[in-house]
Structure 1
């Protein structure tokens, strides 16, 4: 367990997979956007996007009385979710080490939906396109390259702060939103689990 909100408690994919196979699986909350969740997720996981989790953590708290594993693509959003739930008073939180990337690399089972680009790939496409376009335009328009420089600075800040403004903006596109997660449905599903 985490001794404080700054320290993240984690679980290795192999350990979680073993618990699932033994029928002792903890609650798995996937904090990615619905579009990402629909593409691939751990069987039995509940989709509670990070923003929804933060907004409704008090409601969720009463339905999460056992071990909870938080999952995202790589672990960063799950760590933020852990902090939010820990601040609300929920014990027994762990983050899946390496997120869905590590889970899939370990060969653990997944449910797959329609294939779509993950957020990191979308950020690379948009950032790279802006840098390329402003570099080419900069040949004819003095100073245009500074836009690409600003994007580079933003990406550097994103890496250092473990946050991404471009990713947040892209997550608001209909392509990434998927169907909206209804917190009442999630809570009903959480209640129904034996």
Structure 2
């Protein structure tokens, strides 16, 4: 059983055929209920492995100790020749973060040169944010960008939807 814990827009862009979409935020809220419906052999998938590892730890704490994480996520699976289902296309979140951060730094430097020097402070704030992001392996800017309309999925599964899909596998 392949469980994809990415956000809806990421899942819609591309996913492994036959995988179940269980967004990490829902899995964290209802771990015990989902774990009870999952098969004994579970492979957790995300973009890089970080969210899948977080999901594995939650499932392990709920008594599902056999879950494994697909190293390298969907990208490494596709690179290894695995079959992928593709949907609507959006930029990957890390690319959106780089474009947004880079654009803000460039704009603040130019505004600092031509409008007022204090605009350069924005470049420092963005740099500090990226440093904290790297140190904590989290991304606040990515979370903010995930709320943008182009990153919203057409339909996000609900707890009931997921439990209904997983039910035959208990």
Measured against the shorter chain, the TM-score band is over 0.9
2:98 pairs, out of 124, 127, 141, with 124
Alignment of 1:156-175 (within 5 A): 156-175=131-150
* Structure 1 unaligned blocks of 5 or more: 1-26
Q: CA deviation digits over 1:8-56, x for unaligned, max 9?
A: xxxxxxxxxxxxxxxxxxx111111111101100011111111111111
Aligned residues: 168
User: Are residue 189 (structure 1) and residue 162 (structure 2) matched?
Assistant: no
Q: Within 2, Cα distance between the matches of 1:118 and 1:181? A: 21
- Given that 2:38 and 2:169 are in contact with CA atoms closer than 8 Å, whether structure 1 keeps it comes out as no
Partner of 1:5: none
SS at match of 1:62: helix
Partner of 1:39: 13
* Structure 2 unaligned blocks of 5 or more: none
When residues 161 and 128 of structure 1 are mapped into structure 2, their CA distance, relative to the original with a 3 A threshold, is: same
The TM-score with structure 1 as length reference comes to 0.82
The TM-score with structure 2 as length reference comes to 0.92
Q: Within 1, Cα distance between the matches of 2:166 and 2:139? A: 30
